[in-house]
Structure 1
């Protein structure tokens, strides 16, 4: 006879069956209360199969099947219209383990599939518009899909402990995001679009392969915690300058842009018009020049919290522009020292470097 802890409030029933050495789902013991069951915890057992009879738990709001041996989520789970929290961490699940129409779950808000066997990101997750908290860390996922932008209500994304080498710019479209965990991956660069996350308060990037940060990171409006320990940028800064001289095409295009020579679509072929429109402004404040494909990657050090100096990557039009006093074209702007850099009004409160 299985003994379990049960909490009742009115017609709502919560059952805790964690650590009961169960080797199968205890459906026989829940038959009498299944219509009133709102929370079920069967974590830390040896369960392998969640039966199709889970469809009978129509009032279920929270289901915790973590730390078992589950290798498949039954199709019937999409019919639990009240299910808001599904915790399936530390099992044997992969993309083939999920229902094809898992995205039809109508009420899911918190989803936890950390510590499983996912190699690819489950695309069904991108179809669940109600998700506010998604945990899928501790897997072997290499690519975060562009479709992640569809999760407009997402507030917390935990993606630590995977195998990401980059993250999509579309992550910056998650305007509701408050916490973003990307630690323990292989990330080498960050897209500047991340600064579109105006509500982001915590960004965890420790134990990656970051050597620099994009200059745009200082424009984070609400960010107050930034974790960077265990990245090359903390222990070794990039100092070598590499530069490929511009082509004749680029040199000509620079003259057109720098001297403000007017042109129309009738004057030039469409491909040249497109090329001229792709010009980037040199970030040296004393240079009014532009570049197209040939640029110099330069590291500029910026103070954070009055204590830490972080390297930010900036792109310049020529090696001469690495000097704060240099100018590749005339400029009347005042000289800016190498330490000057505009910072956001809400300075970071915590930068974790070690």
Structure 2
């Protein structure tokens, strides 16, 4: 049984001499194994700690010698083992949580004198210099021949780049890297993201540029990435749409969607209140969602989309008279901001409410409305705007919905008056 982590051995006698420990751990390899006991002809089980300064290792007897385990923060890779003789506390940190739990279990069994055949014992031999090096934080693999097939990724990684390796899927070994903050899988052949990528609870930057992605799953958008993901690059893929739940990723600051096949942006994109940099150049966007007006950006790039000059008279009529009872009830729930969820109402009604449109009058419409498009200068939502087309324009069409004929008529009247002036 071996464990790699940071270790500080603190003597409990120091305070009585007016001294204190240095409070900083050293990288070490801990082993539990058999060693001849000088006071007995039999072998005993020892804990050996090897560091860069002492690769031969310091040994501590375990049987009936552990006073207490401190495991409040074991899920964070931290624990303390208090020995009776010598009077020291062995403070462990920066360990893999699962490995640490297994190691402490083995130490507890050794302390109780359990049958040695049930213990995963190691040979107590000096370690190699590379075994006690500081944990690796960054790793870049830029070719298929360098990709690890038999060994794991260092658990301590905070930044991992794997590019030009022809990966067709995300390696599940990457999803166990709990400290990972940046994952760059650009320039591969990945078609689908596993829902469990949301288990990377520290991930703030995800780069998937130039892959074969065809969809972003709802599960990913509803994972812990809602609270951590700040940079997302899914440019140069095969995406046609993004799920409505995409706008649950509310910590996003930088979003790159260039060179896909997107026919629309997420309906509630305005909920990305922290978004500052948005690029969706070279897609198939005909118009922007009405919620786009709520954004407040530093930089916006929509070049190369087939935007068409809007005409308020061109509209889509989806009204019936009278309105169905379900539409009236759903509008009322949206206007009154009544809380809802699948535990209260059917899932299809939840989806309708999630996509409620807001009319010029401020009231909601759901599945029955009149839709048109109006021109908006993109400088209204962004400090810097990349030209929308080769003609030097910075205007783009934005969808607008109306809950009734009277609201649409008022809009046409005001548009006509502005045109006359």
TM-score normalized by the length of structure 1: 0.62
CA contact (8 A) 2:319 2:370 kept: no
Residue 402 (structure 2) aligned to one of 309, 313, 316:
316
Residue 277 (structure 2) aligned to one of 190, 198, 202:
202
Q: What does residue 82 of structure 1 align with?
A: 156
Query: Unpaired runs of 5+ in structure 1?
Result: 1-10, 12-30, 39-58, 259-269, 328-334, 340-354
User: Cα distance, 1:224 vs. partner?
Assistant: 1.3
In the TM superposition, what whole-angstrom CA distance separates every residue of 1:13-39 from its partner, at most 9, and x where no partner exists? xxxxxxxxxxxxxxxxxx97634666x
Residue 138 (structure 2) aligned to one of 19, 40, 62:
62
Alpha carbons of structure 1 residues 325 and 217: separation in structure 2 relative to 1, 3 Å: closer
Q: What does residue 192 of structure 1 align with?
A: 267
Aligned residue for 1:108, secondary structure, equals coil
Aligned residue for 1:299, secondary structure, equals strand
How large is the RMSD of aligned CA atoms in angstroms? 3.9
Q: What does residue 111 of structure 1 align with?
A: 183
User: Cα distance, 1:174 vs. partner?
Assistant: 2.1
Would you say how many aligned residue pairs link Structure 1 and Structure 2?
Answer: 261
Aligned residue for 2:228, secondary structure, equals coil
Alpha carbons of structure 1 residues 36 and 200: separation in structure 2 relative to 1, 3 Å: farther
Residue 126 (structure 1) aligned to one of 174, 178, 198:
198
Alpha carbons of structure 1 residues 124 and 284: separation in structure 2 relative to 1, 3 Å: closer
Q: How does 1:1-354 map to 2 (within 5 A)?
A: 34-35=130-131, 59-66=135-142, 68-70=143-145, 73-74=148-149, 76-78=151-153, 80-95=154-169, 98-99=171-172, 101-149=173-221, 150=223, 151=225, 152-221=227-296, 223-233=297-307, 236-239=308-311, 240-246=314-320, 248=322, 250=324, 283-285=359-361, 291-305=365-379, 308-318=394-404, 321-324=407-410
CA contact (8 A) 1:211 1:237 kept: no
In the TM superposition, what whole-angstrom CA distance separates every residue of 1:66-91 from its partner, at most 9, and x where no partner exists? 1x12596547435x231111111122
Structure 1: how far apart are the matches of 2:244 and 2:405? Answer: 28
Query: Unpaired runs of 5+ in structure 2?
Result: 1-26, 28-126, 333-344, 381-392
For the pair shown, the structure with the greater C-alpha radius of gyration is: 2
CA contact (8 A) 1:324 1:337 kept: no
Aligned residue for 1:195, secondary structure, equals helix
Aligned residue for 1:192, secondary structure, equals coil
Aligned residue for 2:287, secondary structure, equals coil
Which one has the bigger strand percentage?
2
Structure 2: how far apart are the matches of 1:253 and 1:184? Answer: 37
Aligned residue for 2:136, secondary structure, equals coil
Structure 2: how far apart are the matches of 1:252 and 1:308? Answer: 40
CA contact (8 A) 1:204 1:226 kept: yes
Aligned residue for 1:305, secondary structure, equals helix
Alpha carbons of structure 1 residues 132 and 315: separation in structure 2 relative to 1, 3 Å: same
Structure 2: how far apart are the matches of 1:71 and 1:118? Answer: 18
User: Cα distance, 1:338 vs. partner?
Assistant: 8.2
Moved more, 203-212 or 291-300: 291-300
Q: What does residue 14 of structure 2 align with?
A: none
TM-score normalized by the length of structure 2: 0.53
